[in-house]
């Protein structure tokens, strides 16, 4: 087929073709793909040539030891991957509903969300729909948006972390994520009323990697104060490592207040009062642009917004996002 159109695509393409493209995109190996599809390698090779014949271009460059996607092939593989994920979600949803369940909800969140707004919203939607299966993933905002794009999540709670993300995702603000500087309770600075910037730099620091929202906020705070970043540092994105190092040594770190609250209340960590201006950053609901939420995802988003409005009203802090 040399003429590629929507009608020819719909009449000819099958899910096994999409599975082949997705598998080859992951393995880059014809033999492994043949094993996964329980087909012979010649059969897989023939099927790929038929797909490329329909499209009118090569999806993969054939190298001696691997199959490398072409530039156009990358788009084809991405489509196959997203379509299969979408189909998998459809099958799970329909199967659950057919068996008398309330369907599936797959939601992702940054730590501030998974430790604050998500638990309450999950409890509420489970009260309304006890047989709803809820899957929660905790990741960075960047990874959550990638999962949204691949359709492995229904919605996510995070924030924009890079320029251009607004073109692919819609954002509904929920609440401000507040930050604080913390150290362990036995740290020499823990007993001081206000810690000067000079004293802060006398100690080792824990930092998030460059490019992460919390690191960006920290760099902004230091820039406003007219000081450079600390030199004695440990960089990690692992929450567990961050908290363990804070508890074990005389280190200082900037973390979301909600993250350290239980550790401060238990007396393990202490909040340091400093001249630094730690500006809160809003997080909210991230969804795929031009794709309306339906079913449990829509209900869950409404619960999140309702709960956030109640909290903000109690704090007399209305949402004001440009």
- Helical segments of 129-212, H only: 141-149, 197-200
Q: pLDDT digits over 45-75, tens only?
A: 999 999 999 999 999 999 988 999 999 999 9
- Looking at the domain assignment, is residue 211 inside a domain? yes
Residues 40 and 118 placed together within one structural domain of the fold: no
Q: Among 49, 82, 115, which residue terminates a domain? A: 82
- Looking at the domain assignment, is residue 156 inside a domain? yes
Q: pLDDT digits over 86-119, tens only?
A: 999 899 889 888 888 888 999 999 887 887 789 9
Using CA atoms, how far apart are residues 15 and 85, in angstroms rounded to an integer?
A: 12
- Split into its structural domains, the chain has a count of 3
State phi, psi for 223 to the nearest 5 degrees. Answer: -65, -40
- Looking at the domain assignment, is residue 87 inside a domain? no
- Looking at the domain assignment, is residue 193 inside a domain? yes
Residues 21 and 70 placed together within one structural domain of the fold: yes
Using CA atoms, how far apart are residues 273 and 93, in angstroms rounded to an integer?
A: 49
Here the CATH number for the domain that contains residue 23 is: 1.10.10.10
Positions of the chain with pLDDT under 70: 1-2, 315-322
Residues 117 and 150 placed together within one structural domain of the fold: yes
Domain range for 124 is 102-176+282-314
- Looking at the domain assignment, is residue 255 inside a domain? yes
Using CA atoms, how far apart are residues 271 and 263, in angstroms rounded to an integer?
A: 10
pTM of the model: 0.72
Residues 271 and 286 placed together within one structural domain of the fold: no
Q: Which residues contact 156 (CB under 8 A, 6 or more apart)?
A: 107, 108, 109, 141, 144, 145, 147, 148, 285, 286, 287
């Amino acid at each position: 087929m040399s003429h590629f159109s929507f009608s020819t695509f719909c009449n000819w393409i099958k899910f096994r073709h999409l599975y082949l493209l997705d598998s080859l995109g992951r393995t880059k190996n014809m033999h492994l793909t043949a094993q996964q599809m329980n087909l012979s390698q010649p059969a897989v090779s023939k099927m790929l040539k038929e797909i490329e014949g329909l499209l009118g271009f090569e999806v993969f460059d054939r190298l001696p030891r691997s199959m490398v996607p072409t530039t156009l092939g990358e788009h084809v593989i991405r489509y196959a991957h997203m379509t299969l994920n979408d189909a998998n979600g459809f099958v799970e949803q329909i199967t659950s509903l057919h068996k008398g369940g309330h369907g599936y909800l797959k939601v992702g969140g940054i730590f501030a969300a998974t430790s604050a707004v998500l638990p309450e919203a999950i409890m509420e939607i489970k009260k309304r729909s006890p047989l709803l299966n809820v899957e929660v993933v905790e990741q960075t905002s960047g990874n959550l948006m990638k999962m949204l794009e691949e359709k492995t999540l229904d919605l996510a709670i995070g924030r924009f972390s890079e320029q251009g993300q607004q073109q692919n995702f819609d954002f509904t603000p929920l609440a401000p994520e507040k930050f604080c500087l913390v150290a362990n309770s036995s740290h020499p600075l823990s007993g001081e009323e206000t810690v000067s910037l000079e004293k802060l730099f006398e100690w080792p620091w824990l930092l998030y990697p460059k490019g992460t929202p919390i690191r960006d906020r920290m760099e902004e705070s230091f820039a406003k104060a007219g000081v450079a970043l600390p030199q004695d540092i440990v960089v990690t994105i692992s929450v567990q490592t961050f908290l363990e190092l804070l508890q074990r040594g005389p280190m200082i770190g900037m973390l979301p207040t909600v993250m350290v609250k239980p550790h401060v209340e238990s007396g393990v960590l202490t909040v340091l009062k400093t001249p630094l201006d730690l500006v809160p950053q809003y997080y909210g609901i991230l969804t795929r642009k031009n794709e309306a939420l339906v079913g449990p995802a829509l209900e869950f988003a409404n619960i999140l917004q309702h709960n956030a409005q109640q909290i903000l009203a109690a704090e007399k802090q209305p949402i004001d996002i440009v």
